[in-house]
Every structure is written in C-alpha cells, then in structure tokens.
Chains A and B, each alone.
Chain A
Amino acid sequence: MSTVARPAAPPAARPWGPIRWFKNPWRKPRVLESITWLYLAWSILPVTIAIAFSFNAGRSRSSWQGFSLRWWTQDPFDALFRSPILRAAIFQSFRLAVLTTLVAVPIGALFAIGLDRWRGRPATAANFSVLMAFVVPEIILGLALFLSFRNLIKFIPLGTVGQVIGLVTWQISYAVIIVRARMLSIGRDYEEAAMDLGASPTGAIRRVLLPLLTPALFASAAIVFADSIDDFVTVRYLSAGASSEPLSVKIYNSARASPTPAVNAAATFMLVSTFTVIALGFLAYRFATRGQRREGAVKEFVAY
C-alpha cells in the first residue's frame, strides 16, 4: 500500500480506549457495518412479523394466539383460498399482471431498440416523454387516466381494459430503461459483423440483436409483472367496482376497515408471487447470459 498517512500517532502512551479505537484510520468500519445491519433488520423484520401473523389462530393482527392455517385455507368464509371474493381478486391480479407484461415489454423493448439508433431532437423528446411516466407520482397519472376514460376516450371501459392501459402507461418506462441499458452494453459490433457476413438489416436484428437482448427481456418481464401485482393506486382508480379489484386493492380497502389475519395471508401471497417471479426472472437472466462474462450477474440484475 502506498498510502502514507500523516506522521504516525504518538507512541502508545495513552491506554487503549474507545476514542483511540475510533480514531484509528485503519480500523474496520464496525460502526457503519452495524448501522447497515440494523437498517436491514429494521427494513425486513416488520414484514416478517406480518407474514407470521397470517398463521395466527385468532382474529388479532397484533397479539399471537397460536399457529393455524385458518386464514389461508380453513376458515369457511374469510380464508384466502376459500373466500370467493379473494379468489376472484387473486385471478384479477394475475390477469392484470400477465396482460400488462405482454403489452408493456414488447412496446418498451421496440422503443429502446429504435431509440438506440434514432438520434436527434424528436428522439430525445420521445425518450423524455416515455421516462416522464416513470417519475410522475402515480396518483397524478391514475387520476389523469381516470378523468380521460370518463371524459375523452370514453370507449375504453374502466375495469380490466382500463387498468391494463393504466399499468402499461407507466410500466413501459421500466422495460425501456432495462432494454436500453442492455443495448448500450451490447454495442453495434455484433450486428455489423452479421451484416458483413451477409445478413440483411432485419435479419441481423432478428438473428443477432434479439437473442442478445433476451436476458434484458426476461428481466424486464419479471420486473413489470412483479410491479403490476403490487400496484394498488392506478389499478384502484381505474377499477370498475368491486369485481375488477385485484388482491392489492382488496388489501388496501380492508386494511382501513377491521382487518383479520386473512389480509396478512393475502399480502403474504402477493409477496410470495412477486418473489417467485423475480427469482424466475433472475434464473432466466442467468440462463440467457450463460457463457458471457459472469462476474456481477447479481449486481447487473440488481442494477435494474
């Protein structure tokens, strides 16, 4: 190490103590490390407790009354997998997430590919407007779309169609960001090589660029899917009554009434589905990038 600090501290005249330990520039960053671990515990513990309470035997969400699966499967009216309302809500959640992913990822990916090559003012403006949806507070977008479907684009019904449109409008930006980042790291070399070897421009895109983009497509599909399951703002504003409310909105509505642990079970179920999707997305990403430079696969995925 070439690091030369200021003249060495005076010889150990003073005894060892916390202040000297703190002042030693080569000590391990224990304080920072414990802050980080405390933070991580703080951020994850409440959720863990909420998950545990979905297995509570009693009606309380704040005091433990023994383990049971009552709120998952057993309670004849309120259990997550028995209550017809909650089951319908689960299906609605997945329907919205699947449809949103199917629409948002292709549109976003095409946009990212086009924008990587199409330069100039109009391109910058287009990029800007797509990413704007990413930073606008959701309530603004939700209310704007609600008023729009009510007053201007009246042929679009509230409910599933309206909800998917609302979700897609801000999820496009996620797909764009992810695919764009991948486009930047791929560069144009492979495509040019393909065309040197006689591929047509469209052939080069289809046979070279798309396979290289697959990992980014998996990643964005996973993220869009997970986000759409979790959303409860846009989806609530654009729902057409109780029948088109997904699980998240049911949770939101009942959290304000007098919730039972069934709500915890519902939230846990959502969490498990999101994590599963993200994990599948990560595995697909790993599989699609196999043979490419390995280091930092996690980091790269996380960066999205």
Chain B
Amino acid sequence: MSDTETRPTRSRREERRLARQYARQQGAWYPRWFWPSFAAPAILWMVVFFAASFYVILSVAFGTEDFFRNPLPVFQPWWWDFGTLTEQLHKIFGGVYQTVYLRTFAYVAIASVLCLLIGYPIAYFVARYGGRRKALFLVLLIMPFWISYLMRMFAWSSLLEVDGYVNDLLTFLNVLSKPYGWLEGKGITVVLGLVYGYVPYLILPLYGQLDRIDTSLLEAGRDLGASPARTFWRVTLPLSKPGILAGLIIVTLPMFGDYYTNNLLSQSPRTTMIGNLIDFTYANTGLAAQGASLVLTVAVLLIVPMVWYLRYTAKAAEAK
C-alpha cells in the first residue's frame, strides 16, 4: 500500500522505465516494435492494395484519356481535372442519371424496410423464445450465408419464369388470371429479390442485440403494470435500436453496389440501379473515368454509415 502513496512523486517516464525493468527481470518484456510487427503484413497489404487502389480511383476519375479512350490516370493531385466528376454530378442532379439514383434509393429504402419488417419478428422470436432450440434456429438462419448469393437469385429466376412454379401456384389459387411476366423488367421482382437476398444479413445483428437485452428489464416493465405490447414498445424496441440500425446499414451497403440481382432477375433498363451503371463501365472501354467517378459518388454516399457500423461493432465486441 505504501507503494501507491509514493507513486505520485515518480514521473510517468520513470514509472514506465521501472515497469520495463521489472518486466525484463520476469522475462516478459516485449520491445516496442514487437506487437506492431505482427500487424505489419496486413497493414502493408492494405496500404498497397486498398488505400492505393482508392488513390487510383481518384487519379482515374480526375485524369484524362488517350486517343483510344483508355484512361490515363493523373497521380499528381495538383493536375487533377474535375471535369468528369462535375459532368457526373450534373447527370445525377437533373440529368440522365437522376432517375437511376432516385430509383436506387427507392428500391433500397423499400427493400430494407421490408427486410426489417420480416426480420424483426424472427430475430425477436429466436432471441426470446428460442429456448433449447436456439442453436437449431441459428444454424437454419445462418444457412443462407453459405449458399452463394448467385445460387439463391438463380433459384428464383427459374421459379419466376412465365411457366415457372410461382405463376403455376398463383394461377391455381386464382390470384392471377394469367401468368405474370415477373422477369420482364419489373421493379417489384427486383425489390423482392433484394429482400430475399439480404434479409439474413439483417436478422443476425438484430438477433445479437435482442439476445443481449436483460430479461429482468422486461419483467420489471410487466411488474410495474405495463401490458406486453407496451413493454415491447417502451423497453424492447428502444433497447434494440442499435441492432436495428446496424442491421439496416449492413443490408443497405451492399444494395447500393448491387448489380447482379438486377441482372439476374430483370436485365431491363427500366430497373437499372447505381451498381448496374458501375458494372456497365467495367464491361465497356472508354468509360473508366466515368466508372471511377460513379464509385466515388457511391463511396462518399456510404462513408458515414460505414464508419458508424464499424464503431458499433467495435463497441459491441467490447461489451461482450
């Protein structure tokens, strides 16, 4: 105890030196570079392939083209030409891309709300009433993760054919009088495809959050006279808010870059999304600068939710 009393008289530097000396005597001393050197390969990798790639995106977006319309990236920021980007921004605000951007926002909004409406009851049921079958439910809920997204969309594309089982069922039940052309560029098909594709990603973080709720809080709510509905509304729902937000973000992020759902279920310009515009620039020469600036607009759009999500998961990991 006397040690704590003398401590303030030592400088922090001194203290660190003593700690190091003690640790060395115990054989547990690590040099300063020891732990960072473990992280070095990954950091190097990320700098070369992640950070640098984004710099290339900037250089291509603000660079020029050669005679054959191949991109000539400009790596010096002071020579950057913001022409393509302003051109793109004009296209987005009031130009040809405006409809695509608005459509993407609408699809993503509708699809993620539907994901939440479908996912919440399921996450809630498994978290609260899963009981001994929780592991089984979790395995079933996680199964779609190990089925390729491609396979899952592709499965629907044959079910939704004009002579497919969905039309067979709906005409048999007299919901439809004649088969519906689901795959002929219908917005509803794309939205349902997005919902089907991304619901599992929303359920799991939401489940994690709901599972962490202390049930004694719910009992307290009931003890104090709240009805089950009111307890849900005033206790469970507010406590699950971060999980809802995290789930919504984790489904909207990939939806903004999604081009494959659209390509597999519609292929029509009537349902084009931002991802399709980007994908189109990959497949066609002369559009690299355009693709790069589209990527930039999407990245700027998504940076806030991405950062929020990473901070949320970091906090959740510490809470565990």
- A interface with B by C-beta (< 8 Å): 2-6, 25, 29, 32-33, 35-36, 39-40, 42-44, 46-47, 49-50, 53, 61-63, 107-108, 110-111, 113-115, 117-118, 122-123, 126-133, 135-141, 143-148, 150-153, 165, 168-169, 172, 176, 180-181, 184, 192, 195-196, 198-201, 226, 229-230, 232-233, 237, 248, 251-252, 255-256, 263-264, 267-268, 270-271, 274-275, 278, 296, 298-299, 302-303
Contact = CB atoms under 8 A, between A and B. Distances in A.
B290 to A, nearest CB: 11
A227 to B, nearest CB: 9
B244 interface: no
A64 B178 CA distance: 20
Contact of B291 (A40, A128, A143, A270): A143
A180 B295 contact: no
B42 A148 contact: no
B19 interface: no
B27 interface: yes
Given A36-B122, A50-B151, A144 B163 contact: no
B52 interface: yes
B155 A49 contact: yes
Interface residues of B, number: 107
B225 interface: yes
B59 A151 contact: yes
A130 B148 contact: no
Task: Give the one of A43, A47, A130, A248 with max B CB within 10 A.
Answer: A43
Interface stretch (B10-18, B78-86, B132-140, B233-241): B132-140
B123 to A, nearest CB: 9
Contacts of A33: 125, 129
A44 B137 CA distance: 13
Given A139-B257, A256-B263, A230 B42 contact: no
B245 interface: no
A138 B39 contact: no
Given A137-B253, A299-B134, A278 B264 contact: no
B121 A36 contact: yes
A232 B148 contact: yes
Interface in B292-320: 292, 295, 298-299, 302, 306, 309-310, 313-314, 317, 320
A129 B149 CA distance: 26
Given A46-B159, A180-B317, A111 B39 contact: yes
A278 B146 contact: yes
A43 B200 contact: yes
A118 B140 contact: no
A195 B27 CA distance: 7
Task: Give the one of B157, B158, B264 with max A CB within 10 A.
Answer: B158
Interface stretch (B1-9, B95-103, B274-282): B274-282
Contact of A137 (B34, B128, B298): B298
B254 A137 contact: yes
Contacts of B143: 43-44
B124 interface: yes
Given A139-B257, A148-B56, A46 B129 contact: no
A263 B122 CA distance: 32
A150 B13 CA distance: 50
Interface of B: 26-30, 34-43, 45-46, 48-57, 59-60, 71, 73, 75, 118, 121-122, 124-126, 128-129, 134-135, 137-144, 146-152, 154-159, 161, 163-165, 196, 199-200, 208, 219, 222-223, 225, 227-228, 250, 253-254, 256-260, 263-264, 267, 275, 278-279, 281-282, 288, 291-292, 295, 298-299, 302, 306, 309-310, 313-314, 317, 320
B164 A62 contact: yes
B49 A148 contact: yes
B52 A153 contact: yes
Contacts of A263: 154
Given A50-B151, A248-B150, A172 B42 contact: yes
B35 A117 contact: yes
A62 B164 CA distance: 5
Contacts of A255: 150, 154, 157, 264
A36 B126 contact: yes
B73 A169 contact: no
A146 B260 CA distance: 18
Given A47-B151, A110-B38, A147-B57, A35 B28 contact: no
Contacts of B140: 40, 44
A271 B56 contact: no
A144 B158 contact: no
A123 B42 CA distance: 12
Nearest to A304: B142
Task: Give the one of A40, A107, A113, A151 with max B CB within 10 A.
Answer: A151
Given A3-B223, A39-B122, A147-B60, A184 B317 contact: yes
A195 B36 CA distance: 20
B31 to A, nearest CB: 9
Contacts of B223: 2-4
B194 to A, nearest CB: 13
> Nearest 3 A-B pairs (CB), nearest first?
A137-B257, A114-B38, A114-B39
A200 B150 contact: no
A129 B46 CA distance: 7
A139 B280 CA distance: 11
Contacts of A181: 317, 320
Given A151-B59, A263-B154, 6 more contacts: A44-B144, A50-B151, A137-B258, A200-B27, A256-B264, A275-B146
